[in-house]
């Protein structure tokens, strides 16, 4: 774990898959839910109707597939690369989700929101640079 | 904001779920190798740990809360706000798993909190 080998091409490739598939999954979920409309919990029939709409939505299932792809890439890359290398790279995902929301879904993103997202990316980057194994005992 | 409950569920149930799964995996132990038989054994052992079921249930709640939030708000607002899970994770790790959190990690957590506050302020 302490050996300093340069990351392989497959590491960059899988991190690339992660920072695209994760945000894309969320954007597709967002697209699906915007199409379905605001969820009503009451009366139960309304909830059932919304549940059926979710289960039959192509966007939602594409989003779930994309998130599973993200998760598999994340697990695979963590099986050989250091968490402290992978996690900071994945902080970019917060910026990409906003960019996709803006470009694909036509969301209006205010300058203050962009700033906030940039600060979040920086924060997640800093968190990721710290050693994940911090417990004294096993 | 009436829908603040959705964000609380996403962050608290999501982080709580991850903490429960993490706790379950500490009980289960590491997989001796990544061979399918070893991985399957670990998965089967994990399914017998109640923390795993509690964690899975909480993650499911977080997922449906995320869908609920996405039905109301922009994805470019909802997903950055979910970064609050880093804040909840640091506190949860300290309180429930008795983990040590470094100064650098606290700095990152503080930046995430400031960023989320800015995203909230920049809400259209």
Give the 3-state DSSP-derived string for chain B, with helices as H, strands as E and coil as C. Answer: CCCHHHHHHHHHHHHHHHHHHHHHHHHHCCCCCCCHHHHHHHHHHHHCCHHHHHHHHHHHHHHHHHHHHHCCCCHHHHHHHCCHHHHHHHHHHHHHCCCCCCHHHHHHHHHHHHHHHHHHHCCC
Distance from the Cα of B86 to chain A's closest Cα (Å) equals 8
In this prediction, residues A62-83 reach a mean pLDDT of 85
Q: What value does the mean pLDDT take over residues B15-39?
A: 79
pLDDT of A78 over the 80 cut: no
Which chain B residues are Cβ-neighbours of A124 within 8 angstroms?
A: 83, 86, 108, 112
Nearest chain A Cα distance for residue B116, angstroms? 6
**CB-based contact (8 Å) between B86 and chain A?**
yes
Q: What is the 3-state secondary structure (H, E, C) of chain A?
A: CCCCCCCCHHHHHHHHHHHHHHHHHHHHHHHHHHHHCCCCCCCHHHHHHHHHHHHCCHHHHHHHHHHHHHHHHHHHHHCCCCHHHHHHHHCCHHHHHHHHHHHCCCCCCCHHHHHHHHHHHHHHHHHHCCCCCCCCCC
Confidence of residue A4 (pLDDT cuts 50, 70, 90): low
What are the tens digits of pLDDT across the range A27-53? 999 999 998 887 777 778 888 888 888
Across the interface, do B75 and A79 touch by the CB < 8 Å criterion? no
pTM of the predicted structure, to 2 decimals: 0.82
Confidence of residue B80 (pLDDT cuts 50, 70, 90): very high
- Higher-confidence position of A109 and A130: A109
Which of A47, A123, A136 has the highest number of chain B CBs within 10 A, making it the mutation to test binding with B?
A123
CB-nearest to A134 from B72, B101, B107 is B101
Out of B70, B100, B115, closest to residue A120 by CB? B115
Closest-CA residue of B relative to A36 is B71
Share of chain A above pLDDT 90, in %: 47
A94–B83 C-beta distance less than 8 A: yes
The pLDDT mean for chain B works out to 87
Q: Which residues of chain A does B105 touch, with a Cβ-Cβ cutoff of 8 Å?
A: 126-127, 130
Chain A hits for B117, CB-CB cut-off 8 Å, are 116
ipTM value for the complex:
0.82
Break chain A into its structural domains and give their ranges. Answer: 9-128
**Full domain range(s) for residue B66:** 4-121
Q: Is the pLDDT assigned to residue A23 strictly greater than 90?
A: yes
Interval A94-119 mean pLDDT: 95
Q: Which residue of A has its CA nearest to B97?
A: A135
Number of domains in chain B: 1
Is B4 at the interface with chain A, CB within 8 A?
no
Q: Between B5 and B96, name the one with better pLDDT.
A: B5
Could you tell me the two tokens for B31? Answer: 């997989």
Question: Is residue A108 pLDDT above 90, yes or no?
Answer: yes
Structure confidence by residue, pLDDT tens digits, B3-13: 789 999 999 99
The pLDDT of residue A137 is 45
Q: What pLDDT was estimated at residue B100?
A: 83
């Amino acid at each position: 774990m302490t050996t300093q080998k340069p990351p392989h091409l497959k590491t960059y490739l899988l991190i690339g898959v992660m920072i695209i598939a994760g945000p894309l999954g969320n954007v597709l979920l967002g697209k699906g839910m915007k199409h379905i409309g605001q969820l009503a919990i009451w009366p139960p029939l309304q909830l059932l109707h919304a549940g059926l709409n979710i289960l039959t939505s192509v966007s939602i299932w594409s989003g779930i597939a994309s998130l599973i792809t993200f998760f598999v890439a994340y697990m695979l890359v963590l099986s050989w690369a250091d968490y402290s290398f992978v996690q900071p790279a994945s902080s970019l995902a917060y910026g990409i989700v906003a960019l996709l929301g803006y470009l694909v879904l036509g969301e209006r993103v205010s300058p203050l929101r962009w700033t906030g997202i940039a600060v979040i990316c920086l924060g997640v980057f800093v968190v990721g640079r710290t050693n994940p194994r911090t417990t004294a005992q096993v | 904001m009436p829908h603040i409950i959705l964000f609380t569920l996403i962050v608290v149930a999501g982080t709580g779920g991850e903490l429960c799964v993490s706790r379950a995996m500490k009980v289960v132990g590491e997989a001796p190798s990544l061979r399918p038989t070893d991985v399957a054994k670990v998965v089967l052992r994990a399914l017998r740990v109640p923390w795993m079921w509690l964690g899975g249930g909480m993650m499911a709640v977080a997922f449906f809360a995320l869908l609920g939030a996405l039905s109301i708000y922009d994805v470019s607002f909802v997903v950055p706000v979910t970064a609050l899970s880093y804040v909840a994770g640091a506190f949860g790790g300290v309180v429930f798993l008795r983990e040590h959190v470094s100064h650098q990690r606290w700095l990152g957590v503080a930046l995430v909190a400031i960023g989320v506050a800015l995203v909230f302020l920049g809400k259209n």
